[in-house]
């Protein structure tokens, strides 16, 4: 919860730019306070920062025209999907024009034979899956929120089933990108692999809108599994749950998802979703494949779990049961938010080599308890409810830190808890964020993680956006 940069003097947008964008987009260019306010928020705990105006282009050409005009006037631009960022990516901390891509929501092309689809950047993952419903194919990536695919590419998102299907890094084949100059490029082709030149696709995936505006993308889609089965298993401790998952991965069992939720998270979900799950360290598993393969996988995992004290293996084989389970899981953010009224959630994530996951989680649990004790001592009546959950097949886990932003003790302790979490992950050979991105929230950790490689990132930023107008202050501190 570093505060957004306020060390810049906000100047009103130049009149000629306002005129030009109104002429270009008509009603689809807005400076109304309500629209600006809506675009100055996301799901992070950062204070809102509204842009000066919002553009709603409907084509790559319109995006290019907006970018060209803003560039001429030296005005910052912030790409915006549906605003589900957890790290402040869409906050207009230097003012400027937000480019809302939600009207670019056409599924342009589906190639069932090639297992790929081309969409505009504003298409959400659920919208794509609705379009694919009759093809026997689906887009598996699932970060929880119904984010746009453009936003997911920009933040290198992944989610619960990356362990089986990969992240956006592996699932984007090609992009259409508007550069800082307003020039439009196409990166990649529909070929499944290529050794032709620098990997521009992967450079823009995860660049968080700071190197270009993604307007279209070609993604991999996957055959719907013939059989699908989900299970819930409770463990004596988080360590036992993690040990089960490590062994499963090492044996090469191709699990589709495995989500760890600690007892506190289960409690929060029970209250939020009116469930009565036993409040213990719990893993949600999902298995995809042929019926025989799924049966084999489930038997393997059942056996491994039993060795680690896993109990109460409950199977959900009907779609309704599975949906209920995963909906509860996806409500974890809101469940955490609902733990105390009028609070914000600092949602942080790290990812470590899986051999270190149990240690990292255990040390973090100790740290959370100590932090909470310190807060109560410093500020009687305060709390700091924390939920822990993760896509542990990848070594990725999240803390949801419920913070009363009006209480400076809680804010300070939440920040330092997050800092220690990241330092712990880095010391274990991990990364400061597995899937949320740097945004504004993890700027200070970039150098700790990458050392002098951050200079290379700065060089790339300067080369591709010399005026620093694309989403300034995200990934790298604005100059």
Residues in region 64-123 near a second copy by CB under 8 A = 111-116
Q: With binding defined as CB under 8 A, does residue 469 bind a second copy? A: no
* Region near a second copy per CB under 8 A, out of 56-64, 71-79, 98-106, 217-225: 217-225
What x-and-dash track marks residues 157-196 binding a second copy by CB under 8 A?
Answer: xx---x---xx-xx--------x---xxxxx-xxxxxxxx
If the CB atoms of residues 16 and 223 are measured against a second copy, the closer one turns out to be: 223
249 lies in the binding site for a second copy (CB under 8 A): yes
Q: Please report how close the Cβ of residue 55 comes to a second copy at its closest, in angstroms.
A: 23
Size of the site for a second copy (CB under 8 A): 91
**Measured from the CB atom, is 250 or 323 closer to a second copy?**
250
- In whole angstroms, the minimum distance from the beta carbon of 353 to a second copy comes to 4
Judged by CB under 8 A, the residue of 246, 255, 281, 388 near a second copy is 246
148 part of the interface to a second copy, by CB under 8 A? no
CB of 349 to a second copy, least distance (A): 8
Please tell me whether residue 262 binds a second copy under the rule CB under 8 A.
Answer: no
Cα 203 off chain centre by: 17
Based on CB atoms, which residue is closest to a second copy, 330 or 442? Answer: 442
Q: Maximum CA pair distance of the chain?
A: 70
Stretch that binds a second copy, among 43-51, 219-227, 301-309, 373-381 (CB under 8 A): 219-227
Q: Which stretch binds a second copy (CB under 8 A): 27-35, 62-70, 246-254, 269-277?
A: 246-254
Q: Please list every residue from 404 through 443 that binds a second copy, using CB under 8 A.
A: 425-426, 429-438, 442
Stretch of residues binding a second copy (CB under 8 A), selected from 74-82, 149-157, 229-237, 320-328 = 149-157
Instruction: Indicate the pairing of strand 222-223 with strand 137-138.
Output: antiparallel
Beta-strand pair 184-187/116-120: unpaired
Backbone angles phi, psi at 136, to 5 degrees: 80, 10
In the region spanning residues 275 to 314, those forming contacts with a second copy, defined by CB under 8 A, are 290, 292-293, 296
Contacting a second copy (CB under 8 A), which of 396, 402, 407, 471? 396
SS3 readout for the chain: CCCCCCCCCCCCCCHHHHHHHHHHHHHHEECCHHHHHHCCCCCCCCCCCCCCEEECCCCHHHHHHHHHHHHHCCCCEEEECCCCCCCCCCCCCCCCEEEECCCCCCEEEEECCCCEEEEECCCEHHHHHHHHHHHCEECCCCCCCCCEHHHHHHCCCCCCCHHHHCCHHHHEEEEEEECCCCCEEEECCCCCCCCCCCCHHHHHCCCCCCCCEEEEEEEECEECCCEEEEEEEEECCHHHHHHHHHHHHHCCCCCCEEEEECHHHHHHHHHHHCCCCCCCEEEEEEEEECHHHHHHHHHHHHHHHHHCCCEEEEEECCHHHHHHHHHHHHCHHHHHHCCCCCCEEEEEEEECCHHHHHHHHHHHHHHHHHHHHHHHHHCCCCCCCEEEEEEHHHCEEEEEEEECCCCHHHHHHHHHHHHHHHHHHHHCCCECCCCCCCCCCCHHHHHHHHCCHHHHHHHHHHHHCCCCCECCCCCCCCC
Closest CA to 188 of 171, 173, 203: 173
Q: Give me the least distance between CB of 443 and a second copy, in Å please.
A: 10
Binding segment (CB under 8 A) for a second copy, from list 29-37, 67-75, 93-101, 389-397: 389-397
Among 61, 72, 199, 314, binds a second copy (CB under 8 A): 199
Which CB sits closer to a second copy, 95 or 390? 390
Nearer to a second copy, 196 or 276 (CB): 196
197 binds a second copy (CB under 8 A): yes
By the rule CB under 8 A, 395 interacts with a second copy: yes
**CB of 199: closest distance to a second copy in angstroms?**
5
296 vs 302 by CB, closer to a second copy: 296
Least Å distance, CB 418 to a second copy, is: 14
- 155 touching a second copy, by CB under 8 A: yes
Contact pick of 277, 352, 384, 470 for a second copy (by CB under 8 A)? 352
Alpha-carbon distance of 15 to 23, in angstroms, equals 12
Exactly one of 61, 226, 307, 314 binds a second copy (CB under 8 A); which one? Answer: 226
**Which one, 23 or 109, has the nearer CB to a second copy?**
109
Q: Residue 227 CA to chain centroid, in angstroms?
A: 28
Q: Shortest approach of a second copy to residue 455 CB, angstroms? A: 8
Q: Residue 249 Cβ, how far from a second copy at the closest point, in Å? A: 7
Residues 41-60 that bind a second copy (CB under 8 A): none
Judged by phi (left if over 0) then psi (alpha if -120 to 50, else beta), residue 182 lies in left
The closest of 2, 28, 27, 31 to 18, measured between CA atoms, is 31
The interface with a second copy within residues 446-465 (CB under 8 A) comprises 446, 449-457, 459-460, 462-464
């Amino acid at each position: 919860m570093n505060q957004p940069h306020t060390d810049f003097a906000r100047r009103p947008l130049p009149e000629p730019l306002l005129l030009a964008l109104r002429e270009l987009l008509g009603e689809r260019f807005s400076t109304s306070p309500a629209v600006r306010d809506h675009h100055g928020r996301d799901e992070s705990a950062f204070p809102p920062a509204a842009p000066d105006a919002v553009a709603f282009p409907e084509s790559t050409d319109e995006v290019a025209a907006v970018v060209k005009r803003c560039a001429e006037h030296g005005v910052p631009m912030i790409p915006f999907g549906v605003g589900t960022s957890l790290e402040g990516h869409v906050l207009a901390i230097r003012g400027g024009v937000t480019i809302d891509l939600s009207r670019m929501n056409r599924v342009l092309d589906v190639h069932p034979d090639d297992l790929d689809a081309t969409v505009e950047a504003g298409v959400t993952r659920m919208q794509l899956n609705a379009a694919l419903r009759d093809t026997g194919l689906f887009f598996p990536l699932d970060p929880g929120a119904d984010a746009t695919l453009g936003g997911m590419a920009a933040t290198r998102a992944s989610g619960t089933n990356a362990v089986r299907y990969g992240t956006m890094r592996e699932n984007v084949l090609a992009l259409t990108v508007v550069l800082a100059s307003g020039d439009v490029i196409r990166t990649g082709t529909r070929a499944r692999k290529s050794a032709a030149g620098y990997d521009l696709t992967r450079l823009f995936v995860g660049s968080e809108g700071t190197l270009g505006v993604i307007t279209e993308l070609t993604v991999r889609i996957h055959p719907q599994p013939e059989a699908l089965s989900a299970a819930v298993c409770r463990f004596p401790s988080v360590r036992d749950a993690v040990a089960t998952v490590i062994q499963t991965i090492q044996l090469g069992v191709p699990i589709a998802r495995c989500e760890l939720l600690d007892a506190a998270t289960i409690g929060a979900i029970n209250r939020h979703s009116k469930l009565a799950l036993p409040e213990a360290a719990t893993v949600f598993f999902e298995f995809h494949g042929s019926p025989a393969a799924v049966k084999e996988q489930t038997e393997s995992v059942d056996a491994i779990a039993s060795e680690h004290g896993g109990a109460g293996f409950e199977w959900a084989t009907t779609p309704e049961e599975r949906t209920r389970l995963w909906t509860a899981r996806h409500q974890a953010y809101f469940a955490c938010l609902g733990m105390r009224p009028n609070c914000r959630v600092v949602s942080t994530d790290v990812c470590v080599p899986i051999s270190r996951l149990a240690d990292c989680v255990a040390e973090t649990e100790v740290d959370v308890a100590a932090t909470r004790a310190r807060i109560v001592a410093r500020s009687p009546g305060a709390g700091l409810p924390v939920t822990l959950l993760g896509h542990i097949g990848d070594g990725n886990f999240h803390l949801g830190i419920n913070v009363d932003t009006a209480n400076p003790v809680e804010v300070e302790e939440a920040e330092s808890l997050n800092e220690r979490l990241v330092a712990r992950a880095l010391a274990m050979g991990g990364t400061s964020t597995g899937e949320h991105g740097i945004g504004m929230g993890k700027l200070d950790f970039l150098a700790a993680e990458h050392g002098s490689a951050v200079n290379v990132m700065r060089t790339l930023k300067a080369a591709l956006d010399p005026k620093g107008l694309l989403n300034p202050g995200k990934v790298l501190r604005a100059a």
